[in-house]
Amino acid sequence: MPCEGVIRLSSRRIPEGTYHRALKAEAEVVDGNLNDLLWDLTLYRHAMQRIVDALWDLDRVPNRSQMHQLFYQLLRSYGFRAHVARNIYDYVLALVKATRSNNGSRPVLRRLSARLDYQDAKVELNKGVVKVILRDKWYTLKLKHRRDYIEKFRGLRWKEVHVKYENSKLFVSVIFEFKYHPYVPRNIIALDINLKTIVAYDGFGVRRFKTRFADALSKRKRAEELQKRYPRRWRFNKRILNRIKSLHGKARSIVVDWSWKLAKQIVLKALRRGHAIALEDLNGLKKRASNVSDVAWKFTMFAYRKLQHAIMAKALEYGVPVIIVDPRNTSSVCPICGGKLTYIHRLAICEKCSFIADRDTVGAMNIWLRALRVLHAHAGACGLPPSAPPVKDETRQRGRKQMRG
């Protein structure tokens, strides 16, 4: 029986249950007028912002019943359907509560977007179209995506439709529900994520993947250098502003695209071998290097989270078990004897048992051991070795063979 639940606050498995997947695609209006749809989206944003402003000035956020009394007739006067009106003030209520709980400032809605459910949208994947209505007109939106991608969602129950207009393009996201039933793993692939290298350890050997995070960070730094060089001009000089936006956009695209590609590769490998995937809890990570700037650290954490999100999303899609472990001291404790490690640059040495390995390998091995304890804590052992065996670095061995050749 698959393991689920929380072992400790610091170590846990992602439990089986119902999760969501999103079909995201560019779309075009094939039945209806695009300008009419944009006008409906503009009114939708205006109505939401008006309610946000009204709630923000109140000392206490009203409940849902009070929201209905305050804003239902106002939204109906805009021409919105009854169910759309209820969705608007429900969403605004959740937005204001979340912003206040995080001590944020008044939300300002800039995007043209709308969230619709089964009463205001129809999803017909066999035809590759989505139909939506906000006020008095239905619009048929054709999904501009590969047919094989759309077919992956056939048979799933859809929950919401999001329509968004951005950068002169119309996008549609359909949120589907699916059941996640992870198998009982035979072993674990532990991942230690770093800026330049991802180290994977499965109890018998190490494999290294080069990342593109450093490339993305260099583009981010170049954009920020331009902002520092032209502290007053860059916001108003179109050429400089476009260059800065381009660099920021490229940095983000590099991270996102590479993360999804590597995530699929790792998850499919785990699926073929019947392994679970072990990851660090990024919420427990702290700034570990004093010489790393705040900007570099924030972007690095953005990259780590994007990769972890991609791995978890793909694992949920393919039914691969995922274990989240406490990241504290994964590089300072010997994975063989548990002794304190000393470092010469990035080379770790255990004076107690003479274990020697690089810092990233030590981290991956300790993540593997902690994930192993989580599995053993659920329904007994899964046929795994009780401790970390001597490490074999597959990447280095492959490099030596190529050099000999």
Joined tokens for residue 312: 């978890």
Query: Which has the minimum average pLDDT: 57-66, 78-87, 138-147?
Result: 57-66
Which residue carries 């230690």 as its tokens? 192
**Best CA proximity match to 93, nearest among 139, 55, 38:** 55
Task: Name the pLDDT band for 400 (thresholds 50, 70, 90).
Answer: very low
- What's the confidence (pLDDT) of residue 332? 87
Average pLDDT in the 206-216 region?
90
Contacts of 61 (CB under 8 A, 6+ apart): 55, 93, 96, 97, 100
| pLDDT class of 313 with cuts at 50, 70, 90 | very high
Q: What are phi and psi of 179, to 5 degrees?
A: -95, 130
- Res 393: pLDDT: 57
Kindly tell me if the per-residue pLDDT of 215 is higher than 60: yes
Which residues are registered as beta bridge partners of 162? 115, 173
Collapsing DSSP states into helix, strand and coil, what is residue 105? coil
pLDDT of 298 higher than 80: no
Of 47, 360, 348, which is closest to residue 200 (Cα–Cα)?
A: 360
**Tokens 């690095």 label which residue?**
300
With contact defined as beta carbons under 8 Å apart, do 170 and 29 qualify? Answer: yes
Cα separation, 204 vs 61, in Å, equals: 56
Which residue(s) pair with 200 in the sheet?
191, 207
Q: What is the mean pLDDT of residues 373-401?
A: 55
Q: What is the pLDDT of residues 347-358, one digit of tens each?
A: 999 988 888 999
How is residue 347 written in tokens?
A: 């080379």
Report CA 48 to chain centroid distance, whole Å.
Answer: 26
DSSP character at residue 236: T
CA distance to 29, 204, 267, 344, 360, per residue, from 349 (Å): 63, 20, 32, 8, 13
The shares of helix, strand and coil residues in the chain, as percent rounded to the nearest 5, are: 45, 25, 35
Span 370-385, average pLDDT? 67
Q: What is the pLDDT of residue 296?
A: 67
d(CA 25, CA 19) in angstroms, rounded, equals 20
Query: How deeply is 121 buried, as exposed, middle or buried, from its count of CB atoms within 10 A (0-12, 13-18, 19+)?
Result: buried
Q: Please count the residues of the chain.
A: 405
Locate tokens 């007028």: which residue? 33
| Overall average pLDDT of the 3-21 stretch | 65
Residue-wise pLDDT tens digits, 19-29:
999 999 999 99
CA separation for the pair 161, 173 (Å, rounded) = 6
pLDDT at 4: 32
DSSP letters spanning 29-54: EEES-HHHHHHHHHHHHHHHHHHHHH
- What is the Cα–Cα distance from 341 to 343, expressed in whole angstroms? 7
- What is residue 329's predicted lDDT score, i.e. its pLDDT? 83
**Span 126-146, average pLDDT:** 95
Whether residue 395 has pLDDT greater than 80? no
Q: Read off the pLDDT of residues 33-63 as tens digits, 9 standing for 90 and up.
A: 999 999 999 999 999 999 999 999 888 889 8
- Max intra-chain CA distance, the chain: 79
